[in-house]
Amino acid sequence: MKADLFFSTWPYIALSLLVVGIIVRYLLERTRMAAVREEMSEAWSLFGGAGVWRASVLLLVLGHAASLVFPQTILAWNGRPARLYLLEGIAFAAGIAAFAGCTALILRHLARTNRSAITELSDTVFIALVLSGILSGLLMAVFHRWGSSWGALVLTPYITSLLKLRPTAGLAMQTPFLVRLHVFSMFAVFAVLPLTRLAAFLVFALHSTLTYMGRPISAAGHTAESWLRRHNPSAWLWPEED
């Protein structure tokens, strides 16, 4: 597969695996919500980690989201060197904290096992991909500085083109290897997620959403049934003959 084709198709493959995988897991586990809740508890004990780990990951996710949604604002903020240094410094510190937390997480995971081999392997691959994404991001900050600025000019248009279903793979292909590894790892995390313990949260959320959406339909059905029983049309549709 050519590299440009890879960056055009891989994101859609990864997201398709995420959606289909969660739907399949829901169909298999929709009658076993107690087991899903137990798996959610296991996932939190494994992936929850310390408060610093959670805060650093949240900060990185919000930073990437801000670059995607508000690229012009990021560029305007970076217009002054002091603000650029502040933003890059905060992002790098968050990356260091996330890397340390993820390293501790994978060591703790490898020291225990209480699930099927597929689940354990999937969790390991998932954590390794997250670690790869964080490490590549840190190395990008060292070797390809001011990523908050050039990322808004290169990667944001690339992600936007994917959302518009008109991928411009050339934008990703012109970036250094570390950047391409960072992008690949991000989508690979989505692809593997349905096989991990973390998928239990998405399965439970889907179940809750469908249950909530089904309540108005069920209520409308019961109301219609009650009305028909009170106003049974059979008496005038099929009147009994004397």
Overall number of domains in the chain: 1
20 inside domain: no
Per the domain annotation, does 168 fall within a domain?
yes
In a domain, 224, yes or no: no
Confidence of residue 73 (pLDDT cuts 50, 70, 90): very high
6 domain residue, yes or no: no
User: Where is average pLDDT lowest: 71-85, 152-166, 207-221?
Assistant: 207-221
19 assigned to some structural domain: no
Buried b (16+ CB within 10 A) or exposed e, 64-74: bebbbeebeeb
**Could you list the residue range(s) of the whole structural domain that residue 59 is in?**
35-213
SS (H, E, C) 210-232: HHHHHHHHHHHHHHHHHHHHHCC
Per-residue pLDDT at 214 exceeds 70: no
Task: Tell me the pTM.
Answer: 0.82
On whether residue 138 sits in a domain, the answer given is yes
For the domain that residue 53 is a member of, what is the CATH number? Answer: 1.20.950.20
Q: Is residue 5 part of a domain?
A: no
The average pLDDT across 181-204 equals 92
Burial class (CB in 10 A: 0-12, 13-18, 19+), 199: buried
Let me know: does 74 contact 148? Beta carbons within 8 Å.
yes
Domain membership of residue 28 (yes or no) is no
**Taking 80 as the threshold, does the pLDDT of residue 239 lie above it?**
no
- On the question of pLDDT at 227 being above 80, the answer is no
